[in-house]
Amino acid sequence: MHITPRSAGCFCAVVLLFATVAISRGAPVVSAGDPTSVQQAIDAAYAAGQKSITLPPGKYEIHGNAKARAHLSFDGMHDFTIDATGVTLAGSAGKGMIEFHDCANVTLRGATVMRTTVPSSQGTVEAIDPKRWYIDIRVHAGYAPDCQGIGMLYTYAAGSRLPKLSVPMQYSGWAEHMSNGLVRLHFHLADNVPLIVGDRIAWRGPGATDISLNHCAHMRIEGVKILGGAGFCVTEFGGDGGNYYNYTLSYPPKPDGADEEPLLASNADAFHSNSVRTGPTLENCLLEGMGDDGIPIHGWYAFVMEAHGDKVIVDAPMADWCHPGDELRILGDDRSVVGSAKVVSINVLDDYAVTNTHLVASRFYMLQDEPYWREITLDHAVPLKFGWSIGNVNACGNGFHIKNCTIRNSRTRAMLIKAGDGVIEGNTIDNTEGGIIVCPEVDVWAEADYAHNLVIKNNTIRGVGGDPSPGSSQAGSLTIAAYEQDHFVPRPGGHSNIVVTGNRFESNNAVNVLITSVKDVTIRDNTFVRPMPQYLDRGSKLGIDPTSLFWLTECDGITLANNRVEQPGPAMRRLVTASPTASGAGFKDGVTIVNGGLGR
């Protein structure tokens, strides 16, 4: 037979598949023209007892059946490797790309994952109402004119992919389609917002996960690239965890007919870990241009309905929120930790009658149609009250490790940590709104927990804090804090035993280190280079001094030692501001200027 270049590629792909995967005659083969062939080939290799499959290099458009949760779905897979080196997998943006459910010891290697259309949209500011009640955006050629996801605005100066952190991300208003790709956003643009004609704005499209691991354990995502994520790019939810990640999130290719490169690399988080029992390891990852946080790690709080002796009834965030033997950490009225207890047994209450109508609603699960009512027997009686929150120490990502990752060019938080027994080391954070944020969020997102036994070392945090938000409670480039019910959580708070050492803070505006609601923190041998190059009124409405390098309140056992400041910027007025509720050592001599003087 005569083999054309295209048929030669297909022929070689088939030969390669059968050379590397010894599956039975008649088993499916991977074909660029068959969107279901990738799923069929992997399923066939696994069913045949193989330990791995090597997919032929090439680009494949994949589509699961209409009822599938994702374009590729794997349930109950164990001890298997999918080697997709040189393979590009493309699927529509309306559903997940790859999902593993109840899997263990599975490796996905080398794949490039993308969407058949760019998941976000964008345009250029063409006009601003002189009274600042609307702005007009010309949608860029090749991008979807749909403005349904335009409630989140990501602003960039002309000719740059660096976000303008000085322009707020959220707006409240409504979008109007005009003619010829013009969108008018109706809202009041505050006088101090430096948006100008010619700025470019991106917004989210349909959201869906790209790679999700649900109730999995000891998984490996190695050498994977996600180009243009549709939602949470990589997410893990529940299960024993202990998963390993080495991947890149970056910008998708320019769509057909477009003159402008994509401004957003993803609609939402680059990574998201929720309620795993052993925290993730992220190593040598590059995460850039994401539309929401870089690396959040957390569990969930349950809501106390009533308690009697050693029994407590809660509205749990999910069906298997806790197991017998788990340790529960209890937060009182002011959201500080008041005690702990272990789970002895769990009783499902299908017909629990709510008698207290003054519920404090959580955005995710309170007052939902099918709440998870649970009666939990504890190992000892605890004086619990309605409205208190309980975190599961064993299911919030403790034991995580984030090493040698680069997170850059996002107007959100690079890391949002609500877990402990972890190490954050050797990472580079560049041009993000928030750097490393260690902070539970109890009353809005119900995300647990406080951090215990945490090491933050040898990281570089650069160009952080460009958003002038006077109401920001997470105002530090490094923030270890808790802010609930309109105040910083008072002592004893909940964080404990944290070491911050060997880090380099470079050209960060406003407070560089904010510490609250914690005991026993050592901050030593860190270098601050050109801090506060410009004044930003960040956190001042909450009493935070944005001209102070360190800001401390509601904390005990703080040790500052051998921290050096080089070339302080003109906005820095103080080295350390400590309120009367902050105690420790080194507040006067633990931070010194070794090059330059205080700003003037």
pLDDT, tens digit (0-9, with 9 covering 90-100), for 104-156: 999 999 999 999 999 999 999 999 999 999 999 999 999 988 776 677 889 99
Could you read off the pLDDT of 10-50 as tens digits, one per residue? Answer: 433 333 333 333 333 445 688 877 888 999 999 999 999 99
- Dist CA 414 CA 270 (whole Å): 9
Tell me what the pLDDT averaged over the chain comes to.
Answer: 90
Alpha carbon distances (Å) from 504 to 290, 425, 512: 23, 12, 11
For the whole model, what pTM was predicted?
A: 0.93
Distance CA 415, CA 395 (A): 19
Longest dimension (CA), the chain: 86
Three-state secondary structure call for residue 94: coil
Chain length of the chain: 600
pLDDT at 227 > cutoff 70 = yes
**Look-up of token digits 């349930």:** 75
Nearest to 421 by CA among 212, 277, 240, 301: 277
Angular region, 198: left φ>0, alpha ψ -120 to 50, beta rest = left
Q: Which of 152-166, 227-241, 548-562, 583-597 bottoms out in mean pLDDT, i.e. has the lowest?
A: 152-166
Query: For residues 172-183, b (16+ Cβ closer than 10 Å) or e, as one string?
Result: ebebeeeeeebb
**What pLDDT score was predicted for residue 507?**
96
Instruction: State the pLDDT at residue 356.
Output: 64
Residues 543, 545, 550, 555: what is their CA dihedral angle, to the nearest 10 degrees? -10
Which residue in the block uniquely carries the two structure tokens 């570089």? Answer: 460
pLDDT at 592: 97
From residue 592, how far is each of 34, 386, 527, 561 by CA, in Å? 65, 47, 10, 9
pLDDT at site 464: 92
Evaluate if residue 567 carries a pLDDT over 70. yes
**How far is residue 588's CA from residue 552's CA, in Å, rounded to a whole number?**
13
The fraction of the chain above a pLDDT of 90, given in percent, is: 76
At residue 24, the pLDDT reads 37
Contact 557, 578 (CB under 8 A): no
Q: Cα 420 from chain centroid?
A: 16
Cβ-contact 147, 177 below 8 angstroms: yes
Helix, strand, coil fractions of the chain, as percent rounded to 5: 5, 45, 50
Helix (H, G, I), strand (E, B) or coil at 4: coil
Say if strands 518-524 and 401-403 run parallel, antiparallel, or are unpaired. Answer: unpaired
Question: Above 60 in pLDDT, residue 553?
Answer: yes
Contacts of 363 (CB under 8 A, 6+ apart): 444, 445, 446
Three-class SS state of 136: strand
Query: Token pair of 449, please?
Result: 């927990």
pLDDT at 9: 41
How far apart are the C-alpha atoms of 519 and 554, rounded to whole Å? 9
Q: Average of pLDDT values for 62-67?
A: 78
- Give the pLDDT band of residue 192 (cuts 50, 70, 90): confident
Q: What is the pLDDT of residue 371?
A: 77
**pLDDT mean over 521-532:** 98
pLDDT tens by residue, 423-456: 999 999 999 999 999 999 998 889 999 999 999 9
